[in-house]
Structure 1
Amino acid sequence: MTQAEFVVVANRLPVDKAGPGEGEDGWRRSPGGLVTALEPVMKETDGAWVGWPGQADLEVEPFDFDGTQLIPVALSADEIEKYYEGFSNDTIWPLYHDVIAAPRYRRVWWDSYVRVNRRFAEAAANAVKENGTVWVQDYQLQLVPKMLREMRPDLTIGYFHHIPFPAYGLYSQLPWRRLVLEGLLGADVIGFQRVADAGNFARAVRRLFRYETRAGRITVPGEDGTAHTALAKAFPISIAAETYMELAKKPEVQARAKEIREGLGNPKAILLGVDRLDYTKGIRHRLKAFGELLEDGRVTVDDVTLVQVASPSRERVEAYVQLRDEIELTVARINGDHDTFGHSAIRYLHQGYPREEMVALFLAADVMLVTALRDGMNLVAKEYVATRNDNRGVLVLSEFAGAADELGSALKVNPHDIDTLKDTIIQAIEMPEADQARRMRSMRKRVLEHDVKAWSDSFLAALDDARAAKERATR
């Protein structure tokens, strides 16, 4: 295996196992935003990517895909259950999302999390050249930075946290709170979505370790008496905005948007929600507000339709099974009470769609509803804005989504306040075109200037600064 100067470590590889007769040597590129964000960097650096290949007990040798060396880390079915579905998604995910659902703390899950993190760290340590750079991604791998530093002190290590980081009053519940912070503090640069998340992290470090923190720089003492500096800072992630703009210009995509409107009975206004089926996304609150608007007679099914795309998520985790049942029951009740032969109140779609279809949906929608109860960023909000080359459409955006820090011209809502959410939906439906255009132009300027390349460039620049500082210190 050839070692690389630059290595990404993520829970998943940037490819999926392809079906018979498709993909390069049985693999196809994953559609995720992280893959799009890092693809140019990987090609420029001849980098390597360490990750799980997506199936239990799948043993695969390292291989090249589209110019990037991929290094699979095998996981057993038991490890997927305990490390991924258990500790990552039934402990860390709900805890870091403000305990919207109750986290479960199980020692066997933690033990598996430690073992799997060590396996990822070992794979990365073997994959990277001397004095190279490793960039660790997200909450499934919070222990990897410290493990890597212990194995390879020559490395420059970055970590990016794609989800929120909670206030200390919540974080302190975690039985392994010190060990997780120590794991993250192994990095030279620790990136967060929002300034508030970086602040929560720094406060937790001060409370538990009394380390000196100044302007986001944390002095971390080593066991050998030396110290290193970790920078904890906000680097808000974004999207490949130009890709969405170009798709929105395609005649076939525009024709599909018109077809979608016709298929819904050409209502005066289409409301759209696009989410993973997750309790953090505020889908229940959105449905409740819309159902009450129908009950109150403030909207009718002839005039307004809500399209809710809820892509499947973590279907073996009990909280998600219950959530799906609850949402589908709510949709059925609202439609049963209000549907006519010609129009449906809610068109509910429990499936994922290719990007072209999503862009057509964005073009068809008059109002985009992003009502997350807590969200690291929410890239759907940015995708909607990038798609609207016509400067039409209204974004209703939860103040608890990271995107709210950047998209200041959206209509901001507290999704827990159902009455105000209802009023805001009506305001969005009735907004004059001139007001829509003014708000959309402002948001589009932000999304286009701060695209995904700007995000990766800013983080990698911080890593370069950290490497240069280390080199100066050893002269």
Structure 2
Amino acid sequence: MSAQSDHATTHSDHATTTADLVVVSNRLPVDRSAEDDDWRRSPGGLVAALEPVLQQSGGAWVGWPGQPGAEIEPFTFDGMALVPVVLSEEDVELYYEGFSNDTIWPLYHDVISPPAYHREWWDAYVRVNRRFAEAAASVAAEGATVWVQDYQLQLVPSLLRELRPDVTIGYFHHIPFPAYGLYAQLPWRKQVLSGLLGADVIGFQRVADAGNFARAVRRQLGYETKAGSIKVPRTEAEGGGTRTAIAKAYPISIDVAAYDELARRPDVQARAKEIRESLGNPKTVLFGVDRLDYTKGIGHRLKAYGELLADGRLDVEDVTLVQVASPSRERVAAYMQLRDEIELTVGRINGDYDTVGHTAIRYLHHSYPREEMVALYLAADVMLVTALRDGMNLVAKEYIASRVDGGGVLILSEFTGAADELTQAVRVNPHDIAGLKDAITAAIEMPEAERRRRMRALRRRVRDHDVSDWSRSFLGDLALRSGEAATS
């Protein structure tokens, strides 16, 4: 199977063995276009953060190309060496849809949906993590730095350390890490902790997540933890004794300049006006954009909005809610059920409150390119982020970065990582429907001067802590660990 495009070229295995920086994630940073079979850069903050670093260092990215059973030779894309990992249909079903997304995802998101524990899923998770570790080991230069990404690959750090004790290993956890009482339910809790402790630096979105992890390590493994440092026994290959792993918060962010630039484009601003006109030019546009996931609190948002219409506190002639729910994990039963529930709720509210000229909810079950998203952000007077649990929530930061006009109000769940940083948002507990209703009306009625004051502070925060700052901070700490290891 070839891997050719304008930017992609195949190369020999030898060319991939000299990478001083290796990123390992479930997916490669490219997608294959069904139209012309060419590779395209994937959207998303992680790619934006790490692509420049890999291009500068001549680094490599290990990941699955997104096609079950596809055996693709390593290739280069825009200056990055990409190393595909083969996953069969069974691997995708058991390791990805099963253990990663029906065991770890619900457990780590406070059991909003009940996790399922199946030994065959765990066996597949171990098997696939080993495959990723072997691919990383084969491509890393002597003394390289390897940065593993997210919950699908929690065993890779320790498996890689066994194979390559010479490399420095970082791991970043993009989703929440649960409180001990929840984490302790996992049948393979010790194995996962040991897997993560193969890393020299273990990064989390929030200080609370790093604390939850350290608590689980103390309770389950009995290791000494102090102020984010964890004493970990060395393997025999490392010469015995102990080493120190660091577990701390590194809040991820976005490519702020890219959103700012798009929002200033005349065509994007014109599109924002078009969107408002297509909605009947309401006084207020409320906006929500989420993956269709039970952690995002879409149902709570719809309930609050529907009750505001029923109470007469909002009028469909004045206010429209635009809800983008991009497709997600459509083969997982909990997600199929969620889609049915959301669409039934939208249909009921629209049936009750629509007029000939105005729609209560414009519901869009699609994904959109970045230009269209920025136009929607500019068109929205109030952004609703009502996640029940979220590692960070980058949508909140995208909205802020897009508001070059200084307007808009962000309503933000206190259960997102973003709530720790974005203190000028209107904070809500999405489980408190009465409080959520009050927050929506307060945002709609907020004086212009207060809106601008809050947005100015939010934009300063996001601008000063962008995604480049995140990657520099993490890799800087990893370099320090590498230096300490070399002198110890």
TM-score by length of 1: 0.98
Q: Which of 46, 53, 56 is the matching residue for 1:41?
A: 53
Q: Which of 434, 444, 447 is the matching residue for 2:462?
A: 447
Shift of the alpha carbon at 1:472? 1.0
Structure 2 residue 112 is the aligned partner of structure 1 residue 100: yes
Distance 2:33 2:145 in 1: 30
Structure 2 residue 221 is the aligned partner of structure 1 residue 209: yes
Amino acid at match of 2:269: Q
Q: Which of 114, 124, 135 is the matching residue for 1:112?
A: 124
Q: Which of 305, 311, 328 is the matching residue for 2:320?
A: 305
SS at match of 1:157: strand
Q: 1:241 matched to which residue of 2?
A: 256
SS at match of 1:316: coil
Q: 1:378 matched to which residue of 2?
A: 393
Q: Pairwise mapping of residues 55-454 of structure 1 onto structure 2 (< 5 A)?
A: 55-224=67-236, 225-454=240-469
Structure 2 residue 487 is the aligned partner of structure 1 residue 468: no
SS at match of 1:266: coil
Shift of the alpha carbon at 1:222? 2.4
Shift of the alpha carbon at 1:242? 0.8
Identity %: 72
What is the RMSD computed on CA atoms of the aligned residues?
0.7
Distance 1:440 1:195 in 2: 25
Shift of the alpha carbon at 1:20? 3.9
SS at match of 2:384: strand
Amino acid at match of 1:127: V
After superposition, give the CA deviation of every residue in 1:227-253 in whole Å (9 maximum; x if it has no partner). Answer: 111100000000000111110000000
Distance 2:49 2:476 in 1: 15
Give runs of ≥4 in structure 1 deviating > 4 Å: none
SS at match of 1:10: strand
Distance 2:471 2:448 in 1: 35
SS at match of 2:419: helix
Q: 2:33 matched to which residue of 1?
A: 18
Distance 1:48 1:372 in 2: 34
Amino acid at match of 1:247: L
Amino acid at match of 1:462: D
Change (3 A) 1:334 1:149: same
Distance 1:84 1:227 in 2: 33
Shift of the alpha carbon at 1:52? 0.3
Amino acid at match of 1:239: I
Distance 2:249 2:33 in 1: 36
Distance 1:243 1:76 in 2: 36
Distance 2:484 2:72 in 1: 38
Long gaps (5+) in structure 1: none
TM-score by length of 2: 0.96
Shift of the alpha carbon at 1:455? 0.2
Shift of the alpha carbon at 1:223? 4.0
Amino acid at match of 2:221: F
Shift of the alpha carbon at 1:7? 0.4
Distance 1:268 1:188 in 2: 53
SS at match of 2:457: helix
After superposition, give the CA deviation of every residue in 1:35-82 in whole Å (9 maximum; x if it has no partner). Answer: 111011011110000000001111101011111110000100011000
Structure 2 residue 47 is the aligned partner of structure 1 residue 32: no
Shift of the alpha carbon at 1:214? 1.2
Amino acid at match of 2:156: V
Shift of the alpha carbon at 1:21? 3.6
After superposition, give the CA deviation of every residue in 1:418-441 in whole Å (9 maximum; x if it has no partner). Answer: 000000000000001100011001
Distance 1:323 1:21 in 2: 34
* Number of residue equivalences: 470
Distance 2:482 2:180 in 1: 30
Shift of the alpha carbon at 1:226? 1.8
Shift of the alpha carbon at 1:389? 1.1
Amino acid at match of 2:339: R
Shift of the alpha carbon at 1:143? 0.1
Distance 2:227 2:71 in 1: 44
Distance 1:268 1:340 in 2: 16
Shift of the alpha carbon at 1:374? 0.1
Shift of the alpha carbon at 1:210? 1.5
After superposition, give the CA deviation of every residue in 1:179-212 in whole Å (9 maximum; x if it has no partner). Answer: 0000000000000000000000000001111111
Amino acid at match of 1:459: F
Distance 2:443 2:399 in 1: 15
Long gaps (5+) in structure 2: 1-12
Distance 1:17 1:390 in 2: 36
After superposition, give the CA deviation of every residue in 1:433-460 in whole Å (9 maximum; x if it has no partner). Answer: 1000110011100000000000000000
Shift of the alpha carbon at 1:417? 0.1
Distance 1:251 1:284 in 2: 35
Distance 2:263 2:148 in 1: 33
Shift of the alpha carbon at 1:32? 1.6
